[in-house]
Chain A
């Protein structure tokens, strides 16, 4: 049975164009990934800062005051992109975990474990800014409703992945364990997303993804989408920074790291 599956997979693999295969193998190599990160980081940083600048200007200054919530709604420009990122990063980690388990790709595991602190940070930001928005609007810092509770569980998942990886001495076993945990935890993602529809809640329903008729003014929507894009770039930047140190630690006894240390030392 398993040989049939493997044969089918390799048959499909053989129709993948050669440049893509080469890219896959290159990226899978730690020194290539390290150098690629160094090349990408300045560009990512410049685009990120431009988008962030425009997003903040648009969100804090250009966007009109909300007729119901006054200026308190401006928290949306941090809160919603952060909440989106908390889900997005978890999905990336689950995919990376699957790739690491199926194809034993080392870099996929580096991406998984390097994403965890950033995902945890975005989840924390979503919770704290939500609380700071809830206090003036709902009159309470916290309610144990479905949206808030499932997002809190997401924070614990991230922290669980980080501490599980830190607790297991043998890093190969640790890598496998976190990949499995990341995959299992992914069931929480649709629960968070649909929580505002499945359960009665204080949390407002979706304002942006009602694509046919978004219930948000365009001058308010544009900065939100710009901020969301800026946060995506930020994730790439921060993840690559963590991945670089993670790769160095894993590869410290290899020739290319020794060379890197020597050239950096001169």
Chain B
């Protein structure tokens, strides 16, 4: 437990290190998740249009 606390503390630089990793993680995750959601939405709209056209 003690060593895990030390790990999180990063020798006193915990705030800078973890904020860096956190921001990178969120930005990179959004870059993959947003286009996937966008594609699902777009395909749903196209399917609806095609049904109406029939």
Decide whether A and B assemble into one complex. Answer: yes
- Does B2 reach chain A (CB closer than 8 Å)? no
Name the one of A70, A121, A242, A244 contacting B11, with C-beta atoms under 8 angstroms.
Answer: A70
Measured CB to CB, the nearest residue on chain A to B20 is A129
Name the one of A72, A82, A237, A245 contacting B42, with C-beta atoms under 8 angstroms.
Answer: A245
* Contact status of A121 and B13, CB under 8 A, knowing A82-B24, A249-B42: no
Measured CB to CB, the nearest residue on chain A to B39 is A245
Specify which chain B residues have a CB less than 8 angstroms from the CB of A72 in the assembled complex. Answer: 10-11, 13, 16-17
Main secondary structure of the interface of B (DSSP, over half): helix
Q: Are B20 and A245 in contact (CB under 8 A)?
A: no
Measured CB to CB, the nearest residue on chain A to B50 is A261
Compute the total of residue contacts between A and B using a CB distance below 8 Å.
90
User: Closest CB-CB distance, A122 to chain B, in whole Å?
Assistant: 9
In whole angstroms, what is the CA distance A74 to B38 when docked? Answer: 35
Q: Are B43 and A121 in contact (CB under 8 A)?
A: no
Measured CB to CB, the nearest residue on chain A to B41 is A245
Specify which chain A residues have a CB less than 8 angstroms from the CB of B47 in the assembled complex. Answer: 261-262, 264-265
Q: Are A70 and B13 in contact (CB under 8 A)?
A: yes
Can you report 28 A-B residue pairs in the complex whose CB atoms are below 8 A from each other? A61-B7, A71-B12, A71-B13, A72-B11, A72-B13, A74-B10, A74-B17, A78-B20, A82-B24, A121-B31, A124-B27, A128-B23, A132-B16, A132-B20, A133-B20, A136-B16, A237-B32, A238-B31, A238-B32, A242-B35, A244-B39, A245-B38, A248-B43, A249-B42, A252-B46, A262-B50, A265-B50, A265-B51
Residues of chain B whose beta carbon lies under 8 Å from any beta carbon of chain A: 7, 10-13, 16-17, 19-21, 23-24, 27-28, 30-32, 35-36, 38-39, 42-43, 46-47, 50-51
